[in-house]
Structure 1
Amino acid sequence: MATVSEWLVRLHFLLLVLLCCVSPSSCATIKFITSDPLVGLVGCHPHQIKAFTQLKNEFDARQVLSLSFNGLTGQVPSSFSNLSMLSKLDLSQNDLTGSFPLVRNLTKLTVLDLSHNHFSGTLYPNNSLFELHHLLYLNLAFNNFNSSIPYEFSNLNQLKALSLSSNAFSGQVPPIFSNLTRLTLLYLDRNKLIGSIPLLQNLTMLSVLNLYENHFSGTIPSYLLTMPSLTYLDMRGNDLTGSIEYDNSSTPSSLQYMYLGNNHFEGKIIEPISNLINLTHLDLSFLNTTYPVDLNLFSSLKSLLHLDLSGNSISPASLHSDSSTPLTLAMVFFKHCGIKEFPNMLKKLHSMQFIDLSNNRISGKLPEWLWSIPQLGTLNVVNNSLNGFEGSSEALVNSYVRILLLESNNFEGALPNLPLSITVFSAGTNNFTGEIPLSICNRSSLTVLDLNYNNFTGTIPQCVSNFTFVNLRKNNLEGSLPDMFCVSASLRTLDVGYNQLTGKLPRSLRNCSSLKFLSVDNNKIKDTFPFWLKVLPNLQVLTLRSNKFHGSISPPHQGPLGFQELRILEISDNKFTGSLPPRYFENWRATSSSLTGKEDGSLYMVYEKNPYGLIAYTFTDHIDLRYKGLRMEQANVLTSYSAVDFSRNLLEGQIPESIGLLKSLIALNLSSNAFTGHIPESLADLKALESLDMSSNKLSGTIPNGLGSVSFLSYINVSQNQLKGEIPQGTQIIGQPKSSFEGNAGLCGLPLQETCFDTSDEPQPQKEEDQDQEEEEVLNLKAVAIGCGLGVLLGWAIAHKSYHLFVR
Structure 2
Amino acid sequence: MVSIKILFYFLLVFLSYSSPQVASFSKIIVAVGDQGHVPLEIGKLNKLEYLSIAENNLFGPIPQDIGMLTNLKLIDLSTNSLSGSIPETIGNLSNLNELYLSNNSLLSGPIPSSLWNVSNLTLLYLDNNTLSGSISSTIGNLANLVELALDVNHFSGSIPSTIGNLTKLIVLYLGFNNLFGTIPPSVGNLINLDVLSLQVNHLSGTIPATVGNLKSLTTLELSTNKLNGNVPQSLNDIPYWYSLLLADNDFTGHLPPEICSSGSLAFFTAHLNHFTGPVPRSLKNCSSIARLRLEGNQLEGDIAHDFGVYPNLEYIDLSDNKFYGQISPNWVTVLGHSYYNTDSTLTGSTIIPLAEITCPKNFTSSNQNSHVES
Range into which the TM-score falls when normalised by the shorter chain = 0.7 to 0.9
Q: Name which of structure 1's ranges 205-214 and 107-116 shifts more when overlaid on structure 2.
A: 107-116
- Between Structure 1 and Structure 2, how many residues are aligned? 349
Task: Determine if the alignment matches structure 1 residue 353 to structure 2 residue 289.
Answer: yes
For the 8 Å contact 1:297–1:324, the answer to whether it is kept is: no
1:336: Cα distance to partner? 3.8
Task: Determine if the alignment matches structure 1 residue 213 to structure 2 residue 179.
Answer: no
Deviations 1:626-672 (A, max 9, x none): xxxxxxxxxxxxxxxxxxxxxxxxxxxxxxxxxxxxxxxxxxxxxxx
In the alignment, which residue of structure 2 is the partner of 1:334? 270
Deviations 1:747-805 (A, max 9, x none): xxxxxxxxxxxxxxxxxxxxxxxxxxxxxxxxxxxxxxxxxxxxxxxxxxxxxxxxxxx
CA 1:221–1:349: 2 relative to 1, 3 Å: farther
Q: Select which of 51, 73, 79 maps to 1:112.
A: 51
In the alignment, which residue of structure 2 is the partner of 1:184? 122
Which letter maps to 1:332?
F
Which letter maps to 2:292?
D
CA distance in 2, matches of 1:617, 1:286: 12
1:138: Cα distance to partner? 0.8
In the alignment, which residue of structure 1 is the partner of 2:353? none
1:143: Cα distance to partner? 1.9
For the 8 Å contact 2:285–2:308, the answer to whether it is kept is: no
CA distance in 2, matches of 1:96, 1:76: 11
CA 1:96–1:318: 2 relative to 1, 3 Å: same
Deviations 1:3-42 (A, max 9, x none): xxxx34xxxxxxxxxxxxxxxxxxxxxxxxxxxxxxxxxx
Q: CA RMSD in A?
A: 4.3
For the 8 Å contact 2:171–2:194, the answer to whether it is kept is: yes
Deviations 1:39-60 (A, max 9, x none): xxxxxxxxxxxxxxxxxxxxxx
For the 8 Å contact 1:606–1:617, the answer to whether it is kept is: no
In the alignment, which residue of structure 2 is the partner of 1:675? none
CA 1:355–1:251: 2 relative to 1, 3 Å: closer
CA distance in 2, matches of 1:258, 1:89: 33
1:270: Cα distance to partner? 3.2
CA distance in 1, matches of 2:5, 2:339: 46
For the 8 Å contact 1:75–1:98, the answer to whether it is kept is: no
1:107: Cα distance to partner? 4.1
**Within-5 A mapping of 1:613-692:** none
CA 1:299–1:131: 2 relative to 1, 3 Å: same
For the 8 Å contact 1:226–1:254, the answer to whether it is kept is: no
1:118: Cα distance to partner? 2.1
CA distance in 1, matches of 2:318, 2:306: 21
CA 1:123–1:247: 2 relative to 1, 3 Å: closer
Deviations 1:344-401 (A, max 9, x none): 545345364333317647999964764435xx512413594799993674x458x8x5
CA 1:209–1:188: 2 relative to 1, 3 Å: same
Which letter maps to 1:380?
Y
2:35 aligned counterpart, secondary structure: strand
CA distance in 2, matches of 1:254, 1:230: 6
**Within-5 A mapping of 1:684-763:** none
Task: Determine if the alignment matches structure 1 residue 300 to structure 2 residue 222.
Answer: no
Which letter maps to 1:215?
H
In the alignment, which residue of structure 2 is the partner of 1:757? none
CA 1:391–1:182: 2 relative to 1, 3 Å: closer
Which letter maps to 2:115?
F
Greater RCO (CA < 8 Å, at least 6 residues apart): 2
CA 1:180–1:189: 2 relative to 1, 3 Å: same
CA 1:265–1:191: 2 relative to 1, 3 Å: same
Q: Select which of 99, 104, 121 maps to 1:162.
A: 99
Which letter maps to 2:172?
L
**Within-5 A mapping of 1:574-613:** 606-607=363-364
Deviations 1:458-479 (A, max 9, x none): xxxxxxxxxxxxxxxxxxxxxx
Point out where structure 2 has 5 or more consecutive residues left out of the alignment.
15-20, 351-355
CA 1:264–1:408: 2 relative to 1, 3 Å: farther
In the alignment, which residue of structure 1 is the partner of 2:81? 144
Which letter maps to 1:286?
T
Which letter maps to 2:28?
L
Q: TM-score, normalised by structure 2?
A: 0.74
CA distance in 1, matches of 2:260, 2:328: 30
CA 1:151–1:384: 2 relative to 1, 3 Å: same
Deviations 1:400-447 (A, max 9, x none): x5x5676564599xx98xxxxxxxxx9779xxxxxxxxxxxxxxxxxx
Q: Select which of 191, 207, 211 maps to 1:253.
A: 191
Q: Select which of 27, 32, 51 maps to 1:88.
A: 27
2:159 aligned counterpart, secondary structure: coil
1:130 aligned counterpart, secondary structure: helix
CA distance in 1, matches of 2:371, 2:218: 20
CA distance in 1, matches of 2:213, 2:287: 23
Deviations 1:690-741 (A, max 9, x none): xxxxxxxxxxxxxxxxxxxxxxxxxxxxxxxxxxxxxxxxxxxxxxxxxxxx
2:203 aligned counterpart, secondary structure: coil
Q: Select which of 372, 375, 380 maps to 2:315.
A: 380
Which letter maps to 2:118?
L
Q: TM-score, normalised by structure 1?
A: 0.37
CA distance in 1, matches of 2:160, 2:33: 39
Task: Determine if the alignment matches structure 1 residue 100 to structure 2 residue 52.
Answer: no
Which letter maps to 2:124?
L
In the alignment, which residue of structure 2 is the partner of 1:699? none
In the alignment, which residue of structure 2 is the partner of 1:231? 170
For the 8 Å contact 2:159–2:179, the answer to whether it is kept is: yes
CA distance in 2, matches of 1:614, 1:130: 29
CA 1:117–1:265: 2 relative to 1, 3 Å: same
Deviations 1:156-187 (A, max 9, x none): 22111001112223222222124422110011
In the alignment, which residue of structure 1 is the partner of 2:17? none
1:236: Cα distance to partner? 0.8
1:381 aligned counterpart, secondary structure: strand
CA distance in 2, matches of 1:408, 1:149: 51
CA distance in 2, matches of 1:105, 1:145: 21
Which letter maps to 2:223?
S
CA distance in 2, matches of 1:75, 1:368: 68
In the alignment, which residue of structure 2 is the partner of 1:194? 132
Structure with higher Rg: it is 1
